Structure 1
Amino acid sequence: MSVTILIVDDEKNTREGLSIALEEEYEVYMASGADEAFNLMEAETFDIVLTDLRMVGKSGLKVIDRAITLPNRPICIMMTAYGNVETAVEAMRRGAFDFLTKPVSLEKLEILIKRALQSRRIEAENVVLHERLDKKYSFDGIVGNSTGLIDVLDKVKLVAPSKATVLLEGETGTGKELVAQAIHQNSNRARQAFVPVHCAALAANLLESELFGHEKGAYTGASERRIGRFEAAGGGTLFLDEIGEIDSATQVKLLRFLETRSFERLGSSKPIQVDVRLVCATNRNLTEMAKRGEFREDLLYRLNVITIHLPPLRERREDLPLLLNHYIDSFAEENELPPIDLTEGAIKVLRDYRWPGNIRELRNFCENTVVLKRGNELTEYDLDPKYHNQSETSTDEEPQSLSSSPTLRKEENEKRLLRNALIKVNGNRTHAAELMGISRRTLHRKLIKWPELDIHK
């Protein structure tokens, strides 16, 4: 779709000269005054309005005032004589993108038009990006119906609009950063920055500088001033993941910030005020750490304004079918591959698995399944042995079930090998028997015994 430009100038030679210069690349309309421009703007949609400031009748400021009220607001560029620069600056305050002095340099005009269009594209991309973020981190985007998850979401909905500091507790991989993003995206800070810091990934001597910034010469190698994450998150949300890993010196500065909402860069004594909402996360027991003297008790009180505990996946077993289908469909679409159906048997095995890596492990399983699976169905016989060997992950108090007996484990492994062999040769029984090192008759007997393994069934 071509870019449309409206040229408004009461000097015929000027507007026609500009039209000739621009019409090869753009669709150009002309108006000899403000009233004619108003009529054209009502009838057509323009990307750019290029208007002179001083004209007979209404001035170019009136053109700009009308243009910025339109539903599809065009980019306005003012043309002015040298003596009217102050008025042109006033036009920019009222909504103009920029101005050019007369006589107009065509080279400068073309550069300015391209810069204005690029600026408009970036604005549009930002709108789309924010809409995607709103959708991704909306409460509807968090998958699950379990009681534990519903309790978390109910609490997050109450907390998000407030300014309160939030502490997220939960095992590794339970989705703490996703919940932190949801808190940010559903607050009045959603259009400001969300700045995550993974404290465990930074050495103690770097973390303080990373968070609070430093002045030039604050330490060896500090060749220039650098702002920290607190300043970068100004007006938005700062997410400190693994807060239990920060050293005592950083704990003191963090406590001071929570008390005064100010801090100093390394190498400076000047306090800096910032409006930042703090959301922290940990997979450790901070209360026990405070008792052992590993974490400041007064800092814990400041962080522990609102605590939200995220349940591990093993406590959300009823959510597993939903999560599996969600991630498998998502990765299938991302990789342009057909989705994979999970049989009831596969879902049962996966529900019984303890998922020590929680959602992160589940996501990796789903991506691996989509990318490497041959065929469009996943059965319990396609699953790795670790998903079947529940006796290895069960507690000592749990009685050993019949399914963990050596005889049945051997049978399950044989089923899995047979199923994989059939998939590899696309159901050809002769080739499958050769792969397994058995006769075709033996393979036939096994399929009569276990008909669910036949991929052409």
Structure 2
Amino acid sequence: MAPHTGRHPVVLIVDDDKNTREGLQRALRPRYDVRLAESAARAMEALADGAVDVMLSDLRMPGMDGLELLKRVQAHHPDVICILLTAYGSVETAVTAMKQGAYDFLTKPVNLDHLDMLIARALRSREIESKNRDLEQQLDNKYGLESIIGNAQAMQPVFDTIRQAAPTQATVLITGASGTGKELVAHAIHRLSTRSRGPFVAVHCASLSASLLESELFGHEKGAFTGADVRRKGRFELAVGGTLFLDEIGEIDSVIQVKLLRVLEERKFERVGGIETITADIRLIAATNRELHQLVREGKFREDLLYRLDVINIPLPPLSERSSDIPALCDHFIREFSVRNGRPVMGITADAVNLLSAYAWPGNVRELRNTVEKMVVLARSDRLTARDVPPNIREAVRGKSAGTGAQATLGEGSLAEAERLKILAVLGTQHGNRTRAALELGISRRTLHRKLQEYRAQGLLPAALAEEN
């Protein structure tokens, strides 16, 4: 339950003794909205009638006792803070109550100052828990599996492997071209793992020289090199209890490869210039856009390190192989950038989506994201149209169409033409395989066949795609 604003917290007092009920009511009324119940049954009715923040309940009552009431409240109203009161306290009873979910257990006669502080502390604790849950939800929305947009068939193995790998401690290697979302996948694995409450620390290996990368990863002692005026922890130490993500790991030099191999084998390392051995309690996720097996054959990457990294491999498909995800990606980016840039863009037309879907996207999702941001900032109306698609993309699609022998008029973005270009683009990507193309397009094979027959009749079906595969 979220903290209540604009009103006093509600305290429900449950006790079969009238004097106890009214005495506690008088003591708490200045700071709380106090409600009374003379039995457990009446307490359940009061809980059903409206929001209650704290319940103070006697342990021994006729009929349902305090422990049974506690069980029912925990089952049906888990956000209610439960404090039990009794004149017959024992350590055993207190332990039982706490195990069943009671916040605390007090012995009568109750010290009113202590009770007041206890309720205030309990409410504050619940408020912090609520904020933490909200923060966890925000992190899940931003970095969890839900943050990866993808309904295309090519993405399903990715989701399956993430779900299988996340709960384990296994090292993961994410491969794929630049811009395919490797760091997003690493974040999702972390959020779904048992280390999700620990840190997620990312290092982009290609952006640092060998000497800087060594210090960045392993830290250094004071005086280890010129300019090392203080001891500094490295990313392996900062990621303790969590996940360390090494992006573009194919760029690291042989010296770093040796040290990294030792960490993976022994879970130990020393800071640069240091002699103290430090334990690396981390989960490692690596990513690369290089072909590491080829680098091994060329002598540029250690084979033993590759085997240590490639325990679980997650290859990410390029955007050209998942063009059916482009509409959903566009909608997501439009919402993001319309809010960020204060632009009243509410959506995108079908002709614009089809035009974008016909483009090859060599920069993958990152390029699409940047393109949509540009379109949102420069939008002519509250909906993006084909006229908002950048000229370089329209020219590339026009050239692609001309190269396959089709006649295209894309100046104003014909809906039918954009649809045709998308179909031909996907068919080309699938090497003429109509079954796979239909699946990627999200249409039936019969519908695809009918469309191609129409294009053939109009002389708009390239000869290379005319034969059925």
TM-score norm. by structure 2 comes to: 0.63
Aligned positions of 1:51-450 closer than 5 A: 62=67, 66=71, 69-73=74-78, 74-77=80-83, 95-97=101-103, 104=111, 106=113, 109-130=115-136, 142-160=148-166, 162-185=168-191, 187=192, 189=194, 192-193=197-198, 195-200=200-205, 220-222=228-230, 229=236, 232=239, 234=241, 237-246=243-252, 248=254, 250-261=256-267, 267=274, 269=276, 272=279, 274=281, 276-329=282-335, 331-332=337-338, 337-344=344-351, 346-390=352-396
Instruction: Name the CA shift for 1:18/1:326 in 2 (closer, same or farther; >3 Å).
Output: same
Shift in Å, 1:359:
0.9
Please report how far the alpha carbon of residue 373 of structure 1 lies from its aligned counterpart in structure 2 after TM superposition.
1.1
**Identical counterparts, % of pairs:** 45
Name the SS for the 1:363 alignment partner.
Answer: helix
Distance 1:328 1:92, change over 3 A: same
- Tell me which residue corresponds to 1:431: none
1-structure distance, mates of 2:338, 2:235: 39
CA 1:172–1:392 in 2, change beyond 3 Å: closer, same or farther? Answer: farther
What is the match of residue 445 of structure 1? none
Q: Deviations over 1:288-316 (max 9, x none)?
A: 44455543332111101232222222343
2:466 corresponds to: none
Please report how far the alpha carbon of residue 174 of structure 1 lies from its aligned counterpart in structure 2 after TM superposition: 0.7
RMSD over equivalenced CA pairs, Å: 5.0
- Alpha-carbon spacing, 1:168–1:104, altered in 2? closer, same or farther (3 Å): same
What is the rounded CA distance, in whole Å, between the counterparts of 2:83 and 2:399 in structure 1? 69
Distance 1:86 1:162, change over 3 A: closer
5+ residue gaps, structure 1, are: 417-457
Mapped to 1, the partners of 2:231 and 2:283 lie a distance apart of 30
Q: 1:191 to 1:98 in 2, by over 3 A?
A: farther
For residue 421 of structure 1, what is the aligned residue in structure 2? none
The TM-score normalised by the length of structure 1 is 0.65
Deviation at 1:167, TM superposition (A): 0.7
Partner Cα distance (2:354, 2:75) in 1: 58
**Cα pair 1:64 1:76 within 8 Å, conserved:** no
Deviations, residues 72-121 of structure 1 (Å, cap 9, x unaligned): 1332446799x999987886566443578987363x65554343223223
Query: 1:38 pairs with 40, 52, 62, which one?
Result: 40
Q: Secondary structure at the match of 1:173?
A: coil
User: Is contact 1:166-1:279 (8 Å) kept?
Assistant: yes
Give runs of aligned pairs for residues 20-35 of structure 1, distance below 5 A. 20-30=26-36
In the alignment, the residues of structure 1 paired with residue 181 and residue 327 of structure 2 have an alpha-carbon distance, to the nearest angstrom, of: 17
Structure 1 CA distance for aligned equivalents of residues 84 and 237 of structure 2 = 39
- Asked whether the equivalents of residues 64 and 96 of structure 1 are also in contact (C-alpha less than 8 Å), the reply is no
In 1: Cα distance, 2:22 partner to 2:86 partner: 17
Change (3 A) 1:156 1:215: same
For these two proteins, the number of residue pairs brought into alignment is 393
What SS does the aligned partner of 2:285 have?
A: strand
Q: Which runs of 5+ in 2 are unaligned?
A: 414-469
1:388 CA drift (Å): 3.2
